[in-house]
Each structure stands twice: as structure tokens, then as C-alpha cells.
Amino acid sequence: MHTLDDLLFLMARLRDPQFGCPWDIKQTYATIVPYTLEEAYEVADAIERSDFEHLQGELGDLLFQVVYYSQLAHEEGRFEFAGVIDSITRKLIRRHPHVFPAGDLYAPLDVPRLSEEQVKERWDQIKAEERAEKSATPQQLSLLDDVPVALPALSRAAKLQKRAAQVGFDWPAALPVLDKVREELDEVLQAMADNDTCAIHDEIGDLLFSVVNLARHLKVDPETALRSANTKFDRRFRFIEQALRDTLRPIEDCTLEDLDALWGEAKRQEKNVPSCG
């Protein structure tokens, strides 16, 4: 069975200027990023579909992305793959003082257990300290500094809101957020009535941001919820297409009422199937 050392050697061979693969040789940090995102989503997709038969392979594809960046950094004299391993290990030891109180990875596990809330408080405090250490100008430090801009929009909205909530900038409960969602929906309707394209764009954004806030208060991950809704739509629309194929009826010949009736049939067939894990 191949090892991590084999994978590192393979990566170096692929990038060999004389004998490597032409495609791999020309890649840069920036050109690899889209593949990294794609591989991460394929891991998530395999988990959501409980496709554990292929999960191992998808995790390997994702690991290869880390190896790729590390090889690029090695070639430029920036860092090695071993440094990546050391960095994450040190970080996790530091962020889990309730498990490694002396900062010793192999110390006996005889520390008192903390509640989940206590662990979260410590985690947030340690991350705040890390942000302060990274900032060259502490007076301009923001709670939002390390929320990645490249996150999917729903995930970033939830993370921004969660950070602001740490200092009390948050709704006290879910029901007031629901009122805010209704308010934002009314503003969308007003922008539509005014036929104001720019305002419609802004108000739709505000509405989505409010829905993310509602999801957060209800302990629902908005990105995962929307992915599930996408999957559900995909499944039901394919049902419509198959039903029409079975009757040799072109979908283009159907009215909206015809399609909606088939959509209702797809929903009825799913009514006894759980919609979430």
C-alpha cells in the first residue's frame, strides 16, 4: 500500500522541470484554487449522499490539493509539507487546552472535562488572541478580519453574523429575526413596484442575509440547508422528466399546471422519506 511519502514523491516527480507532466509543471497557486474548491465540494457531496464507497477516493483528491500547494511552496523555498503538518498540530494543541493543558500532545488524559459551552468560550478567546497576534495594527483589529472573502456567500454571511454576535450585536431570539425577514420581503416588493433594478438587487441581498440569520438562530447551517433544497429540486424535476418520458410526452408541450401536478406527485411519493439526516 502506498504511503504519504509516496504521494509527496509523486508530486515532486509531476513537477520535475525536465521529466514531469507539462500540465502540472505550468500550474500555480492561483490556477489550483478552483480544483481545491471542487474537490472539497465533492467530499461534501459524498458525505451528504452517504456514498462512503467513494469517500476515501474523494478525501485522497482533497489531500492531493494540500500536497500540491506544499510542493509549490517547497520549490520557492517558502515551507515544506512537514511544516504544514507541524503548523496544524501546534494550532490544535493550542486551541484545546482542555485536552492538552501542558501543551503536550502525549501527556496522560487525566484533565477534568469541560462543558461544550466552556469549550466554545475558550475556543473563541484563543482565536481572538491569534487574530491579535496576526494583526500588524492591533488598534484596527476587527472581529471580522479572518472571515474569508472566498467562502460561499451563505456560509460567509453566517460566519460574519456569528462573529458580531460574540459582542452582543445580535437578535435575542428567532422570532424577531422572522419579523426582519418579513420586513425585508416587503422592501423587495416595494422595489419591484418601483421597478428599481438596483434597489431590487440590494433588497434581495438583504432578504437572503436575514434568512441566513434566521437559520443561524434555529441552529440550521444555511449552506447545507440550501444544498439539500437543491438536491430535492433536482430529484423532483428528474421525476417529472421521467414521468413524461414514460408517457412519450415532450416536456415542451406541457403547461405549467401539468408540470405542477407532476411536481405534486413527486412530493407525495416523498412524504414518508426524511428530508434531513
Alpha helix positions (H), the chain? 4-14, 22-25, 29-48, 52-75, 81-95, 116-134, 153-165, 174-193, 197-217, 222-246, 256-270
Task: For residue 242, give its domain range.
Answer: 223-270
* Statement to judge: residues 210 and 234 lie in one domain: no
Report the predicted TM-score, pTM, of the whole model to 2 decimal places. 0.67
Interatomic CA distance for residues 117 and 87, integer angstroms: 26
State the pLDDT at residue 48. 85
DSSP 172: S
The total of structural domains in the chain comes to 3
The CA distance from 125 to 119, in Å, is: 10
**Same structural domain for residues 203 and 169?**
yes
**Mean pLDDT per 10-residue run, the chain (277 residues)?**
96 96 96 92 90 96 97 97 95 86 78 74 76 63 82 91 91 95 97 96 97 96 91 94 94 94 92 61
Claim to verify: residue 38 and residue 72 sit in the same structural domain: yes
Domain CATH for 198:
1.10.287.1080
Quote the pLDDT of residue 65: 97
Q: Are residues 192 and 212 in the same domain?
A: yes
What pLDDT score does 277 carry? Answer: 47
Whether residue 71 lies inside any domain: the answer is: yes
Whether 91 and 129 have beta carbons less than 8 Å apart is answered as no
- Give me the pLDDT at residue 246, please: 94
